[in-house]
Amino acid sequence: MNDLIFLFASSFLAATIFPAGSEVLLATLSAAGNHDKFLLSAIATIGNVLGALVNWSIGYYFAKFKNRKWFLLKNIHLKKYYNIYQKWGVWSLLLSWMPIIGDPLTIIAGIFRVNIWIFLLLVSIGKAGRYLLIISIF
């Protein structure tokens, strides 16, 4: 049970602005065979989506501070992600699972006030797909 809680926590943190990863833990638990693979994938996905929801909330509620020195994303980063977002729109959220660009995309979605239900759907699809791929390999 503790390893499932740890998987949830690591998946949650991995989706926030904190540098963390959950793939190795998921692969290890999946390979060990002590838990149902679907359960492992579901726990990792739920944790990761909730972490992305924190990012969306940061973007949504703190957008008014985007010109402040302490704001997470500087204007140059905002412009870069804005361009990605302008090109691909909400569909870019399917890439929220990717390292480096995924977390900022979820913050940008909050800044741009993406509908929460569309956000949750697209982010869940992307993140679940990644975790299902990992458990299918291990």
What does the pLDDT look like over 8-22, one tens digit per residue?
999 999 998 777 889
Question: Which percentage of the chain shows pLDDT scores above 70?
Answer: 94
pTM: 0.86
Residue ranges covered by each domain of the chain: 2-137
What does the pLDDT read at residue 81? 72
Token pair 């990717």 in the structure block, residue: 98
Q: Where are the alpha helices (DSSP H) in 33-115?
A: 37-62, 75-88, 102-111
Question: What pLDDT is attached to residue 100?
Answer: 81
- The average pLDDT across 43-71 equals 88
Angstrom distance (rounded) from CA 86 to CA 10: 31
In this prediction, residue 65 has a pLDDT band, given cuts at 50, 70 and 90, of: confident
Residues in the chain: 138
